[in-house]
Amino acid sequence: MFGNKTNADVKGTEKLMRTVRERIEEAERDNRTVYLEPVPKGTEVSKIKGATLVKPLGLPNTMTEPQGNAGEIFASLLPKLARGALEKYQKTLEESIEATSAAISNADSGARASLQRVNLPGSLEAYLAGDGVPEVVWSKVEGVQRFQVSVG
């Protein structure tokens, strides 16, 4: 034993080992005489699989969504000049998004009107769906779009 080599006091450890051996012998004797069950070897016992004991739930809305003026709690942390610049940037960004959306909507309406004039309504959707305009016709439409020639 390590304790004997280091001249450490091992009386307590030896007593503990003796107690452990006695308890093992007692448990084995009980299994043979009382329970009549042999103790399986460690290699014969299947591993215990883990199981989820709780159901995970999302956080309540009160913790994830701002309540009242919760978004404004830290608004005063920015200097007044930076806050003004941020508000100006956000306003410019919103105006840009609105202008782009309007331009896209107008272009879409114009394209649909041009297609309607040549009796090809919805041909873009039909081509993208794969069941409408033949490839030859679509390549001609692309050619016209490339050269910006007005149809009609």
- The domain limits of the chain are 1-40, 82-152
Residue indicated by tokens 């920015």: 78
Q: How many CB atoms lie within 10 A of CB 115?
A: 17
pLDDT tens, position by position, 68-122: 665 566 666 778 888 889 899 999 999 999 999 999 988 888 877 777 776 666 6
Measured CA to CA, the distance from residue 3 to residue 122 in angstroms comes to 91
Window from 7-21, 70-84, 124-138 with minimum mean pLDDT: 124-138
Measured CA to CA, the distance from residue 105 to residue 99 in angstroms comes to 10
pLDDT tens, position by position, 112-128: 777 777 666 666 666 56
Could you give the dihedral angle defined by the CA atoms of residues 71, 72, 73 and 79, in that order, rounded to the nearest 10 degrees? 130
Q: What is the CA radius of gyration of the chain?
A: 41
